[in-house]
Amino acid sequence: MRRLARSAFVAAILLCLAVAAGAGEELRGNVRSRVFHQSSCRYYGCANCTARFATVKEAVGKGYRACGVCRPGDSVAGSAAVTASRFVGNTKSRKFHHSSCRYAGCANCTADFETRKQAVAAGYAPGGCCRP
Ligand SMILES: [Zn+2]
Ligand SMILES: [Zn+2]
């Protein structure tokens, strides 16, 4: 057991080094919520994150939006300003979610807000799931 934990630790370090070296530039998109993440994100390895993109531009071009947690694109120098909505609102339930929320990709989540304030001002209430 100890040995297993140790090799996992070594693998994690190697992964970190690879990311630091720029080998892990790949972006992943959640095919359900249509949100994409960079490799440093905790949501990067999610079950629905099966779409892969080489660049932020490619992801946006395919209809994905940048994750509000890892903010892919913010670190990309010279890229066109990606207006990533941080919050999405469900136009039916009038609840808003973090763009990283599992409900952010719902059929009625068509309202986009950049700030929490904006969402509240528009009459939306924070969702109990992600507590935006
Ligand atoms: Zn992310
Ligand atoms: Zn939510």
The strand pairing partners of 111, in sequence order, are 89
State the distance from the centre of ligand 1 to the C-alpha of 124, rounded, in angstroms.
23
Supply the mean pLDDT for the chain: 82
C-alpha 15/C-alpha 13 separation (Å) is: 5
Residue 44 and residue 28 in contact, taking contact as beta carbons nearer than 8 Å = yes
pLDDT at 84: 61
At residue 73, the pLDDT reads: 78
What is the pLDDT at residue 14?
Answer: 55
User: From the CA of 12, how far away is ligand 2's center (Å)?
Assistant: 30
pLDDT for the residue numbered 122: 95
Q: How far is the CA of 66 from the centre of ligand 1 (A)?
A: 7
Whole-number Å distance, alpha carbon 130 to ligand 2 midpoint, is: 4
DSSP 49-66: EEEEESSHHHHHHTT-EE
- pLDDT score at 59: 94
**Rounded distance between C-alpha atoms, residue 64 and residue 36, angstroms:** 6
Predicted pLDDT at 10: 66
pLDDT at site 13? 57
User: pLDDT below 70 — which residues of the chain?
Assistant: 1-5, 8, 10-25, 75-85
